[in-house]
Copies of this chain bind each other. A is one copy, B any other.
Amino acid sequence: MAAGSGDSRGLRVAIGPNQDRHLTDAVEVAGGSVVPLSEAQILVWIGGPDRFPELPDAIEWVALSTAGIEHFVDAEVIDDKRLWTNASGFYARGVAEHALALLLGGTRQIVRSAKTRWAKGTVDPAVRTLRGSTVSIIGAGGIGRELTPLLKACGATVLAVNRSGHTVDGADVTMSADRTDEALAQSDHVVLAAPDTPETRHMINDRTLPLLKPHSWVVNVARGPLIDQAALYRALAAGALGGAALDVTDPEPPADDDPLFDLDNVVLTPHVANPAGRLTEEMAPFLAENLRRFAAGGELLSLVEVGKGY
């Protein structure tokens, strides 16, 4: 989809709910200027849906700063009167690094080691290598493209699964989502990177978990509801799975007494694959690029497909 009106010098950009130096710089680098919402054609929104403003009709594009936009969808903030972008593009590389950290944190028994204090007899036989293993990435879009070369460098075979089945560069095989079961059955480990939609909700469940192997690790850097967490707990407690390494949970945050905290073969990080502390710093170059594209009438990166929910 093409968009825009004239060269970037003219771009009038509002930033909210708070001002931010990194983003102001990005607007100026792209030749635009930061203006109040009432004078803007573009809104850069670095908050959640709660304080989202009434949009003037003149707003042609809203740049959101979260990768998943289901909360904006639920709040009925997103309309079809303008373009919307999410943050999946600039989050991808950091999230891919975190996915690798979680997978290795599991397979190399980093957290089991922390929880058991030098229990070599327990840890040593459980350590596995990615070399020669097969890892599927479910929902292989931007994160999958960044994660694939990391897994390949570690010697893994990569099965990329995405809705379209469009080839993911570097992956050994790309499959369309209707072949997800087949991918799981071929995998040593699985990384979830899909959006939270009615189709993906609870895709890891009592029926699909047995497709995995007793040494398999399930990594989730996407959204908690992709996993039926009660089913996951049952599989983990029964020893039917190597482990689970999750940056997201359902509900989130988990309850203090969530039994997942007590399992040696669970790695939990508190939704920090893309740390909030560096949000605008990471977003700035991505925003500048998209402002240039907008000004040139080009296709925006990470355009939301309104109606599909991502």
Residues on A lying within 8 angstroms of B by beta carbon are: 93-94, 97-98, 100-102, 104-105, 107-111, 113-115, 117-120, 123-125, 127, 129-131, 149-150, 153-155, 253-254, 256, 261, 267-272, 275-277
Residues of chain B contacted by A267 (CB below 8 angstroms): 110, 113-114
* A151 (CB) vs chain B CBs: closest residue: B153
Identify A110's interface contact among B111, B124, B150, CB under 8 A: B111
* A127 (CB) vs chain B CBs: closest residue: B275
Residues of chain B contacted by A272 (CB below 8 angstroms): 108-109, 113, 120, 123-124, 127
Name A's interface SS.
helix
Having A118-B253, A150-B154, one finds 15 other A-B pairs with CB under 8 Å, namely: A97-B104, A97-B131, A98-B108, A101-B107, A101-B110, A105-B105, A108-B269, A109-B272, A113-B267, A113-B272, A114-B115, A117-B261, A123-B269, A150-B153, A153-B153
Residues of chain B contacted by A109 (CB below 8 angstroms): 269, 272
State whether B131 touches A270 (Cβ < 8 A).
no
A131 nearest CB across to chain B (Å): 6
In the A-B complex, the 7 residue pairs with the closest CB atoms: A101-B104, A101-B108, A120-B270, A153-B153, A127-B275, A113-B269, A105-B110
Residues of chain B contacted by A104 (CB below 8 angstroms): 97, 100-101, 104-105
In angstroms, Cα B94 to Cα A276, docked, is 33
State whether A93 touches B256 (Cβ < 8 A).
no
* A152 (CB) vs chain B CBs: closest residue: B153
Residues of chain B contacted by A129 (CB below 8 angstroms): 93-94, 97
State whether A111 touches B108 (Cβ < 8 A).
no
Residues of chain B contacted by A114 (CB below 8 angstroms): 111, 114-115, 267-268
Identify A275's interface contact among B98, B125, B130, B149, CB under 8 A: B125
Identify A270's interface contact among B123, B130, B261, B271, CB under 8 A: B123
A92 nearest CB across to chain B (Å): 11
Residues of chain B contacted by A107 (CB below 8 angstroms): 101
In angstroms, Cα B125 to Cα A277, docked, is 6
In angstroms, Cα B113 to Cα A254, docked, is 13
22 interchain pairs, CB-CB under 8 A: A94-B131, A97-B108, A98-B108, A104-B105, A109-B272, A110-B110, A110-B267, A111-B111, A114-B267, A117-B256, A118-B254, A119-B270, A120-B270, A120-B272, A123-B269, A123-B270, A124-B275, A125-B275, A127-B272, A150-B153, A150-B154, A153-B153
In angstroms, Cα B275 to Cα A276, docked, is 36
